[in-house]
Structure 1
Amino acid sequence: MEKLRIRETDKRSMRAFAMGAVLFRMNGLLEETGFAWPASRREELRKLLAHTWSVKDEESLEKHLNWLWEEGSQASYRKTESFISALSFRDREHYFDRLNSNAALFNHARLVQMYSGKLSRAGIAAWDLGQYVFICRTAQSAGWLEAERSIELAAAAARKAQELYKNWPEFAAAYLAGRQIWNNQPSAEAAKPYIDCVSTLLTDSRSLWRRLPWDMSLEKDTIEEETENPLHSDLNSKA
C-alpha cells in the first residue's frame, strides 16, 4: 500500500488532508496510511472518480477542481437562497406548489430554505472544499497527480477553509448541509452515516479533527494571495 513519506511536513500534510476526512473514512481509508488507496483498488477508484465527479483523466481533473474552487455547489446554493429570500411568504408558497411535480427541484429548494440563515456566511463551501481535498488525494493514487502536488492543492483548500470558517464544528455543519444539498436527499436516514462520521471526528480524541487544531499554520514558502486558485499558477501553465 502506498504511503506518504515520513518527514517533517507530515503533520502539515495530514492537516490538509483532514479536510476530506469524512469522504476518506466513508471509503474505508485510514489516516495511518496517509489516506492512500491500495494499489489493488486503482481501477475501482478511477471508476469512483468518473462516476461521481466525471473525472476521467488529468484534463477532466483540472476542470473539476477549478469548478469546485470557483463555483461548486456553493454557487447553486447561493442562487437559490437569494431567489427564495426575495419572495414574499405567499409567493414562496406558490413557488413550492409549482415545484411539487418536480421532486429534484422541490427537494433542492426545500433543503436550501431549511439551511438558509443557519450556516456561517460562507454557506456550504465546506462541502466543495472537502470534495476538493478528497479528489486531490484520490487522483494522486489514480496516477493523475503527483504526490507533492496533491499535498500543495489540499493545503491551499485548507487555508481557504480557515479563512471562511472559525473552527471544525462550524466547518462540519456547513459540510453536512452541503453534502445533503448535493445529494438532494432530505431524509434523515440518508444523512445519518455522514452525521455519525462527522460526530466521531468532532468527539473522538484520536481523530484528526481533535488532534490537529483548526487554525494550525499551513503557510507555504512562497507568498501569494491565500484565496487565489492554486491551479492558475501551475496546472494551467504549459511549458
Structure 2
Amino acid sequence: METLRIRDTDQRTLRIFAIGAVLFRMNGLLEETGFAWPASRKDDLRKLLAHTWSVKDEESLEKHLNWLWEEGGQASYRKTESFLGTLSFRDRETYFERLNGNAALFNHARLVQMYSGKLPPAGITAWDLGQYVFICRTAHSAGWMDADRSLELATAAAHRAQQLYRDWTEFAVAYLAGRQIWTNQPSAEAAKPYIDCVSKLLTESNSLWKRLDWNMDLLTERSINPAPNSE
C-alpha cells in the first residue's frame, strides 16, 4: 500500500487535512510531519479507531464514514433542536424536569438548547467532518484504506465544509459545539483542552488555519467522489 506523504509545499493537501487539525494536534500529530503516524503504531491506531469510533476493519470503517457523511451528530442535534422548538417555555421546563433522572438525555437536551439559534445553518456538521478527515488519515496509516482513497474522501469532506461555513472561525465554533454535544459533557473544564487547541489554530501565525486560505480551491486536478461506498 502506497504511503500518503504530505509535504510543506503541498499546500492543497495540507489545506484538505487541516479540517481534522484539532484531532491531529490532540493526538500529538503536527502539520510539520504531514500528520504522519509512525509505522510502528499501526496496532495502536487500530485500537484507537475501535475504542473511539467502533471501527474494527474495512467494513466497519466504510459504515462509520457513511454514517458521518449522511447523518453524524448533526442529525441528533437537529432532531432535538426541532423538538425543543415545538415546546412552550413551560412545557420545555417540564420536559427537563422529567429528564432530570437521566443524566445523558438531560445533558444532551440542555446542550442543544444552549447552542440552538447560535450556530450557522449547518449546525454541528463541522464536528462530523473533522472526525471524518481524521479517520480517513488514520485508517490509511492503520492499513485499512489506500492513499488515493484517503485523500479523495478527505477532499470531499473539506470541500463540503467550505460550502457549509464561511471561514475558519465559523467552522471552529460549530466544531467545538459538536464535540461538546458528542461527549455530552457540559462543563467548561471538560471542553478547555479543545478550546485551547482551537484558539491556537485560529491565532498562531504559523498554524495551518492562519496560513491556509479557507476558500482555497480544493477541487483543481482532483476527482471528487463524496460517498465512501460509491463506485
Unaligned runs of 5+ in 2: none
Q: Aligned residues, how many?
A: 229
Q: Is the 8 A contact 2:62 2:229 kept in 1?
A: no
* Partner deviation per Cα, 1:191-214 (whole Å, 9 max, x = no partner): 000000000000001000000010
Which residue of structure 1 aligns with residue 84 of structure 2?
84
Q: Is the 8 A contact 1:4 1:33 kept in 2?
A: no
TM-score, structure 2 as length reference: 0.95
Is 2:227 aligned against 1:233?
no
1: CA distance between counterparts of 2:192 and 2:211? 24
Q: Is the 8 A contact 1:107 1:184 kept in 2?
A: yes
Unaligned runs of 5+ in 1: 235-239
- Aligned runs of 1:150-229 on 2, under 5 Å? 150-221=150-221, 229=226
Which residue of structure 1 aligns with residue 43 of structure 2?
43
* Partner deviation per Cα, 1:114-162 (whole Å, 9 max, x = no partner): 0000000000000000000000000000001111211111110000000
Q: Is the 8 A contact 1:3 1:33 kept in 2?
A: no
Please tell me the root mean square deviation across aligned C-alpha atoms, in Å: 1.6
Amino acid at match of 1:4: R
Q: Is the 8 A contact 2:8 2:34 kept in 1?
A: no
> What is the percentage of aligned positions where both structures have the same residue?
75
- Aligned runs of 1:57-68 on 2, under 5 Å? 57-68=57-68
Q: Is the 8 A contact 2:16 2:154 kept in 1?
A: yes
Q: Is the 8 A contact 1:203 1:210 kept in 2?
A: yes
Closer, same or farther: CA 6–21 of 1 in aligned 2, 3 Å: closer
Which residue of structure 2 aligns with residue 74 of structure 1?
74
1: CA distance between counterparts of 2:157 and 2:214? 13
TM-score, structure 1 as length reference: 0.92
